[in-house]
Amino acid sequence: MEEGSTIRKKIEFNKKYLTIAIYAFIVIALAILLEKGLENREGAEEAAKTFSKSLSTLVSPFGFGFLIAYLTNPIVIALERKVFSRFRFFETRFKAKRRVSIICAYLIYAVFIVIVVVFIAPEITNNASNFIGNISTNYNRLLDMLAETLSKTGLISKESVLESLSGYSFNLQELFLDFSSLLQTVLNVTLDVVSTTLNLIMGIFISFYLLDNKENFLKQLTKIIYVVFREDVARAIITVINRTNIMFRKFVLAKAIDSLIIGIAAYVGFSIMNIPLAMLLGVIIGVTNMIPYFGPFIGAIPAILIVMFIDPTKAFLTFVFILALQQFDGNFLGPKLMGNSIGINPVWIIFAIIIGGAIGGPIGMFLGVPIFASFKSFFDEFIEKKYNEKFVYGPEQENVEHVVQPRVSLVENWNDSDRSIE
């Protein structure tokens, strides 16, 4: 008996030191790799870039697929429930209804892309080309108009004004030429989209399977979360995912529709008033309107400057129209479409925009608002719970919520439907 106990102790002793030896080996190996990496920093950086590029090539199709599926899911749900549910043929053919809805959603996207490529993109390209091509002419005309206006005051002659401004002429024109070169570089890079297009096509196929089997994927993901984490932690994680999804779905869709309407309204208004580069200005106003609060101002500044550079007499009219459009959006259209989808104070929205912009640029400014709103809602609930435990329920009732909670799932939140898929 004692001999068996001694053997078990030796085995446990050996396991203990074997574990220590394995950890020591891993630490030493990592230290050696770190030292070699520091000695050959350029090679390590090149290897890291190669690995990052390979990983990006591998992950990109799945990233595109998830993004397309996420953006298409609300359209698919709407088509399923509002359109194809009215057909008797689809009453028991849920799988067929799902796939037809997905295909119709893709066709909606395709029609939108065709409209952009055929009607909008050429107009924007022509506007940009005309603006860049006439920079010198417009600049000299603007200088002449400014000199003429200042000379009418009688304080200075037109020749003196032109002589004073001539020193800045070269630098300003050089700035515009640099801007033109930069724009041309951006256009050249944009045209080089072969790999991105391939990833996008693969992403479309992946998104189709994600949407077609979303209930199964979400159920499996729910099980994985419950297996990996404790039940209370898993429930909290799923609740965070569901609430963030609701926040994004409400905010992103409503803001996209709002910006599309504002962009079209801006184009129509500029066209009626015969303001130059109406299409380009409308796109600028519509795209920047996606950024809450700061977006209208970000779009208004370049729009007014472009008009002032081409036709200064219409710059003030452009300013008044954009101001009126912003008031219409802020006081009527925006609240009508978005309601209280964000649910946070404007001060916090500005804070989220600043932080998001510092981290992710324009995209960060847009995504920062729903992300911050999601986290703030959980923080407010946490503070409310702790406050009630301390001042309302009392210390003796702190464990009042320690009861069995029902398991939550991802499926209902992302599908908005209880019906099973055959």
Across 172-183, average pLDDT: 52
Q: How far apart are CA 79 and CA 68, in angstroms?
A: 16
pLDDT score of 60 more than 50? yes
DSSP 8-class letter at 213: T
Does residue 99 come out as left (phi exceeding 0), alpha (psi in the -120 to 50 range) or beta?
alpha
- pLDDT bracket for residue 281 (50, 70, 90): confident
* 173-182, 364-373, 409-418 — most confident range: 364-373
Give the pair of three-digit tokens for residue 76: 């698919």
- 267 touches 278 (CB < 8 A): yes
C-alpha separations of 395 from 61, 139, 379 in Å: 53, 74, 21
Distance, C-alpha 405 to centroid of its chain: 34
* 31-45, 168-182, 252-266 — most confident range: 252-266
Question: For the chain, what is the mean pLDDT?
Answer: 75
Give backbone dihedrals phi and psi of 418, rounded to 5 degrees, phi first.
-95, -5
- 334 touches 293 (CB < 8 A): no
pLDDT score of 105 more than 80? yes
pLDDT score of 217 more than 80? yes
205 Cβ contact list (under 8 Å, min separation 6): 65
pLDDT score of 73 more than 80? yes
163 Cβ contact list (under 8 Å, min separation 6): none
DSSP 8-class letter at 392: I
Going by C-alpha positions, the residue among 200, 190, 193 that lies closest to residue 62 is: 200
pLDDT at 301: 85
- 76 touches 98 (CB < 8 A): yes
pLDDT at 421: 35
pLDDT at 120: 78
Q: What is the pLDDT of residues 225-240, one digit of tens each?
A: 999 888 888 888 888 8
Three-state DSSP class for 154? coil
Q: In the chain, what percentage of residues exceed pLDDT 90?
A: 4
- pLDDT bracket for residue 170 (50, 70, 90): very low
Element (H, E) at 63: helix 41-78
pLDDT at 402: 46
pLDDT score of 100 more than 80? yes
Of 118-127, 350-359, 388-397, the least confident = 388-397
The pTM is what? 0.65
pLDDT at 102: 92
pLDDT at 5: 56
Give the pair of three-digit tokens for residue 73: 């899911």
Distance, C-alpha 69 to centroid of its chain: 15
Of 3-17, 132-146, 285-299, the least confident = 3-17
- pLDDT bracket for residue 313 (50, 70, 90): confident
Element (H, E) at 36: helix 2-39
Across 14-21, average pLDDT: 67
Give backbone dihedrals phi and psi of 360, rounded to 5 degrees, phi first.
-125, 15
* Higher-pLDDT residue of 370, 422: 370
Residue type, 180: S
What's the half-sphere exposure (Cβ side, CA atoms, 13 Å) at 166? 6
C-alpha separations of 66 from 214, 358, 374, 412 in Å: 11, 26, 20, 18
* Higher-pLDDT residue of 298, 347: 298
